[in-house]
A = this chain, B = another copy of it.
């Protein structure tokens, strides 16, 4: 139920995996569009085994309860990015044993079923909140996540909401606040921005779309996280020794950022940057990577920084520490200009 990006993508993915899927939406146009791209058939009135509610976050609880009441034995899950309110509504309905919460954490926000793709969830975390449901119901929802090749994580709804406030909702608002503070600057001032500001504010370009609903539903955890962030910034602001306060905050941030997983669930390895000046012309990046590959060096990560006023980009190749020096020498021998990291 729900034929937006998430609903249609689930439909496409499950049908590709051989499942029998029907799709519906309160908006007949959206429903028709989703059906036309093959995301599911028209409902035929018979009771489904599993109902997946892909409604906007603010509507999820009501649609989940309606589905639990409409079908006496179907298992119902949803995909809303705040799990507590839906779980509480399902429990209050008396049908909580047939409700399992889901949060497939698909990547960047786009919307509408035209952007739908069956592999939207592949290799992305898919949180499952069992709540009052028995293992058989959880297994049914898990099989959806697995069919779509999501990365299943079981969590308590409350813990999920507290976690996403800190890893997603509050960072979005902090990035927007950093961007909003640029409002006093001239265009020339803003042009002093380096890669650091670009990184911090990248998600500030997001559409407000669902964030208003998410903030309303996850208000308590969001406010607790904002309080934490505000208190840390206030401590710097009001410190007698601002230098010591800054050192303390940055040290605490460093400890936490080291816990964000990098490759394969491990703590981010210590990669070494090799920054190359790449003319902003077609084919140059490919030529660079071809030269890198010829020296048998694997690139762990790659970032590109465009120069504001010159037709070159600074491409940073992140490699294992043991490879950096030899790579730099080899690239220079190939005629590349390697800049300091």
The interface of chain A, by Cβ under 8 A from chain B, is 5, 9, 105-108, 110, 115-117, 119-120, 122-125, 127, 151, 153, 155, 159, 162-164, 166-168, 170-185, 187-208, 211-213, 215-216, 219, 222-223, 225-230, 232-234, 236-237, 242-247, 249-265, 273, 275, 277, 280, 282-283, 285-286, 289-290, 292-293, 296, 298-299, 301-312, 314, 337-341
Contact = CB atoms under 8 A, between A and B. Distances in A.
A308 B243 CA distance: 36
B172 A196 contact: yes
The interface centre, meaning the residue of A223, A296, A306 with most chain B CB atoms within 10 A of its CB, is A306
Contacts of A285: 289, 299, 302
B179 A163 contact: no
A197 B256 CA distance: 12
A189 B167 contact: yes
Number of copies: 2
A249 B206 CA distance: 11
A204 B250 contact: yes
Contact of A181 (B115, B166, B259, B290): B166
A254 to B, nearest CB: 6
A106 B307 CA distance: 12
Contacts of A197: 167-168, 171, 260
Given A171-B197, A173-B249, A302-B285, A164 B192 contact: yes
A260 B178 CA distance: 12
A326 B178 CA distance: 36
A301 B304 contact: yes
A178 B304 contact: no
